[in-house]
Chains A and B, each alone.
Chain A
Amino acid sequence: MSLLEVTNLKKNFGNTEVLKDISFSMEEGQAISIIGSSGSGKTTLLRCLNFLETPNAGKIAVRDEILFDGSDPKTFSEAEIRRKRLHFGLVFQSFNLFPQYTALENIMLAPKLALKEQHKQDNGEIRERGLELLNMMGLSNRADNYPHQLSGGQQQRVAIARALALSPDILCFDEPTSALDPELTGEVLKVIRELADNHTTMIIVTHEMAFARDVADTVIFMDGGNIVEQGDAKQVIENPREERTREFLAGYNG
Chain B
Amino acid sequence: MFATVTLSLLMGFLSTLKLFILTLVFALPLGLAISLGTMSKVAILKYPLKFIIWIVRGTPLLLQLLIIYYGPGILLRNNVWGSSDSGRFIAALVAFAVNYACYFAEIYRGGIQSIPVGQYEAGQVLGMTKGQIFRKVVLLQVIKRIVPPMSNEIITLVKDTSLARVIAVYEIIWNGQAFIKSAGIIWPLFYTGAFYLIFSGLLTVLFNRLEKKLSYFR
A interface with B by C-beta (< 8 Å): 50-52, 82-83, 85-86, 88-90, 92, 94, 96-101, 109-110, 113-114, 146-148, 162-163, 166
Contacts and interface: CB of A to CB of B under 8 A. Distances in A.
B128 A98 contact: no
B124 A113 contact: no
Interface in B77-131: 116, 118-119, 121-129
A44 B213 CA distance: 39
Contacts of B126: 109-110, 162-163, 166
Contacts of A82: 127, 129
B218 A90 contact: no
Contacts of B141: 99-100
Interface of B: 116, 118-119, 121-129, 132, 136-137, 140-141, 144, 216-218
A64 B141 CA distance: 40
Contacts of A90: 121, 125
A94 B119 CA distance: 10
Contacts of A148: 217-218
Given A99-B218, A100-B140, A92 B128 contact: no
Given A98-B137, A100-B140, A50 B118 contact: no
Contact of A96 (B119, B136, B218): B119
B47 to A, nearest CB: 24
A90 B123 CA distance: 11
B217 A99 contact: yes
| Consensus secondary structure, chain B interface | helix
A113 B119 contact: no
B121 A52 contact: yes
B97 to A, nearest CB: 31
Contacts of A85: 124-125, 127
A98 B129 CA distance: 16
A238 B144 CA distance: 51
Nearest to B119: A96
A88 B121 CA distance: 13
B148 to A, nearest CB: 17
Contacts of B218: 99, 146, 148
Contacts of B129: 82
A163 B126 CA distance: 7
A197 B108 CA distance: 48
Contacts of B118: 92, 94, 96
A251 B133 CA distance: 41
A92 B124 contact: no
Nearest to B121: A52
A146 B216 contact: yes
Contacts of A113: 128, 132, 136
Nearest to B122: A96
Contacts of A96: 116, 118-119, 121-122
A66 B116 CA distance: 32
A89 B136 contact: no
Contacts of A109: 126, 136
Nearest to B216: A146
19 contacts: A50-B125, A52-B121, A52-B125, A82-B127, A85-B124, A86-B127, A90-B125, A92-B118, A92-B121, A98-B119, A98-B137, A99-B141, A100-B216, A109-B136, A110-B123, A113-B132, A146-B216, A146-B217, A162-B126
